[in-house]
Structure 1
Amino acid sequence: MSILILIHSIAGRTPPYGESSPLFYATGLVPTLTFMYISRFMGLSLVMNRAMLAFPVVKTLDVMTGRACLEIIASCITLTVIMLILWGTGQNPWPVDLERAVDAYLSVVVLAFGCGTLVGVIVMFFPLMVTIWQITLVCLYISSGTMFVASNLPDKYAYILAYNPLVQCVEWMRTAFYESYSDKLVNPAYVLSFGFGTLLFGLVVERFFRRRMRET
């Protein structure tokens, strides 16, 4: 994450908002990469730790939740380091609206946990889902608005992109750092509904196919 921020900063581009290129790109990269890492490793957790499922005391949700916790902790550490680096280089990494920034970050975690749960369960029956999800993550990264301002696009394109909940998370995070940033694409209810919806669907699938998952 730090390397990506450094690359975009060295490129010398003027940030669309604010005076700090590293801060602008960080507000996009933090939610995007947090989602990607948590959901990706949750999706791989059951396949990578299949042997653990041989023990009756170990549940599939234990494996996925444990992996999610590790990635969340790693993400928080990375976020802290980035803020310290920005602060150490004379920039202000503190959001204008701290509560909104925290809400956006926690919503990213919910979204990632939900998608990761669903992908992790599907992978046990359909291994090709690993490749499909990797490609999907690349597409989500490109279209997330990390490197551009989605709300500045023509409305017909901006609102299509907003169906991607990750776009809304990036926009949500940036509204917490820039007072003049438009929140027209931000719908917290949509992001949380998507996250909890995928989580519920993943839990239902896991419940109905729990025994078969252990036998595969």
Structure 2
Amino acid sequence: MPESSTTAGSTSEIPSDTPSTAPGTGAARTVLGEADIARALTRIAHEIVERNKGAADLVLLGIPTRGVQLAGRLAERLAQIEPAFSGEHGTLDVTMYRDDLRRQPTRAVGQTVLPGSLDGTIDDKVVVLVDDVLFSGRTIRAALDALNDLGRPRVVQLAALVDRGHRELPIRADYVGKNLPTSRSERVRVRLADVDGGADAVVISGAPAAAEHAAAEHAAADNADERSAR
């Protein structure tokens, strides 16, 4: 689940012909292509193995929507690095644990699916949550609450394809594919071939930080002129 307007500024309404333009304009621009995403996931997989000294007791849980697909791709890479890893991964639905249900009560409830080998528990496991975009941190907080109802893992880690900043809670990713400095007015969208069609891509749209800053300076100058004219 993208963590922004829905989760992190990532949405599914991404046209397959999204234009790529030079930074500095308000039009959508592609910041990561298919090869970039593939390399980022391969690097994250190696970092997971290195940090955990293997893949024993490792459980990948993707946060819908695109976190599930990314968890599947990470599982494939982990199985190549560590043959003992089964490649199993699951889905963690956080809908009913979100803190904005009162403002947006009509949400479709998904399903949490644990890998079959777990027998319905995550006790004493190394759980890696996988999401596409890390933004405010509120979706991850909801994911941690959801995990509490499933058991007591030995450790919980977080892997995000993109970290765009603007955290509202003290949450940090353990594994990041790409750090993208953004303004709050921009939208970061992750497009995956198996969800959206077309090629994998990370796209930013909206007013860039420079334009946002210039607009603020212009408004401040106007206010100063108005005060001096009084």
TM-score by length of 1: 0.22
Bigger strand share: 2
Bigger helix share: 1
Larger of the two Rg values belongs to structure: 2
TM-score by length of 2: 0.21
